[in-house]
Amino acid sequence: MGILIASIHMFAAAAAPAQAPIVILDTDIGDDIDDTWALAFLLGTPQLDTRLVVTASDDTPTKTRLLAKILEKMGRTDVPIGTGVKNSDHKINQAKWLGDYTLENYPGKVHEDGVQAMIDLIMGSDRPVTLIVIGPHTNIGEALRREPRIAEKTRVVSMFGSVEIGYNGKPGRQPEWNVLKDVPAAKATFAAPWDITIAPLDTCGTLVLKGERFARVANSNNPLAKVTIENYREWANYDKHPQGHSSVLFDTEAVYLATDDAFCEMKTVKLSIDDKGNTYPDENGRPVNCALAWKDKDAFEELLVKTLE
């Protein structure tokens, strides 16, 4: 444990730049609960300067209400939020926790057009922007359509794809949801000339907190942890997971990769995307920084827990 804690402290020291990168989070919060964990992890990471969170995919106005309530309960209404492209009325999975909450008295800034807010922030920034994408890339495709120059000023870090391992550690690649849900938008992201780093299923697909680590988050009084656990317990799929365990926390790895990659085995792989949503190695593909294996998964889990507790 001493070595583990030391490595985490070294991470914190190494990752803290003189000026933290400006971050935009694009999230399909309200679907899988891992987005809520990732949001809390991001807000607890001082190495990242979060300037905007935009809701993505399906019923984005309802997701914006959910996001606003989460931020209000976490005490972070200082972070502006925006509504992304709506493409269905699909019901969110955190509707029970959301209840009848409205934006009427929300004290924070809400952008009705979250995609334009994203573009404006990137184009107006005098510092590089890191775009963390943890949902389907619908908003990203629309932003590139409106203003292709955003790629010149932005680095993308995404929970995205499956290179050699699929869901639950199953050998062999599978179409991953964030790609499959909007393949044209995923292809547009790959076609743009920005640096891309991904947390594919190869590494993020088995991230589950159990036992003492889960208990530390569940018993914490930190608003980041309390609100996350409240949402998890009222999430529509909560009963499908063992008591005392989290669900798979895919998206948390993308937040980590926005600050450092020391706990991961990174490799630059030329990847292409087919029409079925597969991300496959291809000599003619685009170079992507891929976290293909863990160097120290234990240390990552400890960092996540310490950030939330």
Q: What does the pLDDT look like over 242-258, one tens digit per residue?
A: 999 999 999 999 999 99
Contact 121, 51 (CB under 8 A): yes
Contact 82, 52 (CB under 8 A): yes
56 closest CA partner among 96, 98, 25: 25
Q: Is the pLDDT of residue 81 over 80?
A: yes
Number of domains observed in the structure of the chain: 1
pLDDT tens-place string over residues 278-308 = 999 999 999 999 999 999 999 999 999 999 9
186-204 average pLDDT score:
98
Contact 228, 217 (CB under 8 A): yes
Contact 297, 263 (CB under 8 A): yes
Contact 89, 118 (CB under 8 A): no
pLDDT tens-place string over residues 206-262 = 999 999 999 999 999 999 999 999 999 999 999 999 999 999 999 999 999 999 999
Contact 28, 62 (CB under 8 A): no
Q: Give me 242's structure tokens.
A: 């063992």
Overall pTM > 0.85: yes
Which phi and psi (to 5°) does residue 232 adopt? -60, -45
CATH number for the domain that contains residue 241: 3.90.245.10
14-23 average pLDDT score:
66
Q: How far is CA 247 from the centre of its chain?
A: 15
**Which string of DSSP letters, residue by residue, matches 142-181?**
HHHHH-GGGGGGEEEEEE---SSB-GGG-BS----HHHHT
pLDDT, residue 18, reads 53
175 closest CA partner among 195, 155, 200: 200
pLDDT tens-place string over residues 136-164 = 999 999 999 999 999 999 999 999 999 99
pLDDT, residue 39, reads 98
The partner residues of 221 in beta bridges, in order of sequence, read none
HSE on the CB side for 171, CA within 13 Å? 0
Q: What is the CA radius of gyration of the chain?
A: 18
pLDDT tens-place string over residues 98-143 = 999 999 999 999 999 999 999 999 999 999 999 999 999 999 999 9
Domain housing 42: 2-308
d(CA 185, CA 189): 6
Reported confidence tier of residue 274, pLDDT bands at 50, 70, 90: very high
Which phi and psi (to 5°) does residue 153 adopt? -120, 10
